[in-house]
Amino acid sequence: MAGHRSLLAVTAHPDDETFIFGGTLARYAAEGVEVHLVVGCLDDRIDGSVRREELQCVSETLGLASVTVLDYEAPALAGDLSDSRVSAVAELVREAIERIDPRVVLTFDSTGGTGEADHILMGRATATAFESTVSGDDHDQQATKLYVGHFGRKLMRFGTNVLRMTPGRDPRRFGPSGGVDLVAALDASPSATTFIDVRRHLGIRRMAVDCHQSQLLGAPWVLRRYERLPAGVRGALFRREVYARVWPPAPTGLREESFFELGAPSDLTDDT
């Protein structure tokens, strides 16, 4: 349908949608965009029904149009980033993309945002699935875009330097099975192109954070403090969520303020 605005975020675990993409999803849902979420798997360290309830809470808080849990076998295979596994998960993601038919797909970049293998897996699987849907004859290629999250760059560079200096740790062999090369992932990730102003949606994001009690309780003190910052303070410090456009390919120096062409940037700031 022409002019139909829809967005699909593909993540790995319940809570990624809030902690990593929360302001963006809240903003677009508030602007009337149909916002869908696909989650790779439930975290089996916590009762699955608890995580499903938390997802339901987030869905209602952010105003999501749908939530799908793919439930691939994650825990036993953590750190397995083999081509065959990526293709298997990509097949599940592809089914979801075809069913939802979004205009914009959002996922992790090659660093996974945090270096976690499950995040990197979902990012790769989504890129593979996306590629196969835009290369199909029956699909309007111009109508679909792929973006990857570009968060925490400075933090990740800092983290890799710390790992480098820590005896027995190597940022090139990160994760439970040593299968993640964080240095290469950082180098391979595309430049930031898209800066989403989420200031006015941090209150809703904060409510979504509160849905994830099982994660907050076990989270490190720093993260709990960080997530408990009043919306005003957060708005001053973290007013934008940053992405890189993968498809259509971004010309050098591209700088967008929305996933959707809504006109000049000045129009966007008046939007609610």
Strands 6-11 and 34-39: parallel
- Residue 98 and residue 132 in contact, taking contact as beta carbons nearer than 8 Å: no
Binding piece for Zn ion, criterion CB under 5 A, among 14-22, 90-98, 191-199, 238-246: 14-22
- Residue 229 and residue 239 in contact, taking contact as beta carbons nearer than 8 Å: no
- Report the alpha-carbon distance of residue 79 to residue 139 in Å, rounded: 33
- Report the alpha-carbon distance of residue 25 to residue 67 in Å, rounded: 13
- Residue 39 and residue 55 in contact, taking contact as beta carbons nearer than 8 Å: yes
Residue among 10, 14, 16, 147 that touches Zn ion (CB under 5 A): 16
- Report the alpha-carbon distance of residue 164 to residue 225 in Å, rounded: 27
**Amino acid identity, position 12:** A
Does 54 contact Zn ion by CB under 5 A? no
- Residue 106 and residue 196 in contact, taking contact as beta carbons nearer than 8 Å: no
Does 212 contact Zn ion by CB under 5 A? no
| Nearest-approach distance from CB 119 to Zn ion, in angstroms | 6
Closest CA to 118 of 177, 163, 183: 177
Number of residues that bind Zn ion (CB under 5 A): 3
- Report the alpha-carbon distance of residue 127 to residue 109 in Å, rounded: 9
Nearer to Zn ion, 103 or 119 (CB): 119
| Nearest-approach distance from CB 113 to Zn ion, in angstroms | 8
| Nearest-approach distance from CB 71 to Zn ion, in angstroms | 15
Question: Residue 263 burial (CB < 10 Å; 0-12/13-18/19+)?
Answer: exposed
Binding piece for Zn ion, criterion CB under 5 A, among 8-16, 80-88, 92-100, 134-142: 8-16
Binding piece for Zn ion, criterion CB under 5 A, among 11-19, 100-108, 143-151, 250-258: 11-19
The DSSP call for residue 180 is B
| Nearest-approach distance from CB 254 to Zn ion, in angstroms | 28
Closest CA to 104 of 147, 67, 148: 147
Binding piece for Zn ion, criterion CB under 5 A, among 10-18, 144-152, 170-178, 228-236: 10-18
Looking at residues 94 to 153 of the shown chain, list those that interact with Zn ion (rule: CB under 5 A). none
Residue among 8, 13, 24, 94 that touches Zn ion (CB under 5 A): 13
Nearer to Zn ion, 13 or 205 (CB): 13
Nearer to Zn ion, 29 or 74 (CB): 74
Nearer to Zn ion, 47 or 271 (CB): 47
- Report the alpha-carbon distance of residue 254 to residue 159 in Å, rounded: 28
Binding piece for Zn ion, criterion CB under 5 A, among 13-21, 160-168, 173-181, 188-196: 13-21
| Nearest-approach distance from CB 171 to Zn ion, in angstroms | 19
Does 12 contact Zn ion by CB under 5 A? yes
What's the N-to-C CA distance of the chain in angstroms?
A: 24
| Nearest-approach distance from CB 108 to Zn ion, in angstroms | 9
Which residue is at the shortest CB distance from Zn ion? 13
The residues that touch Zn ion, with contacts defined as CB under 5 A, are 12-13, 16
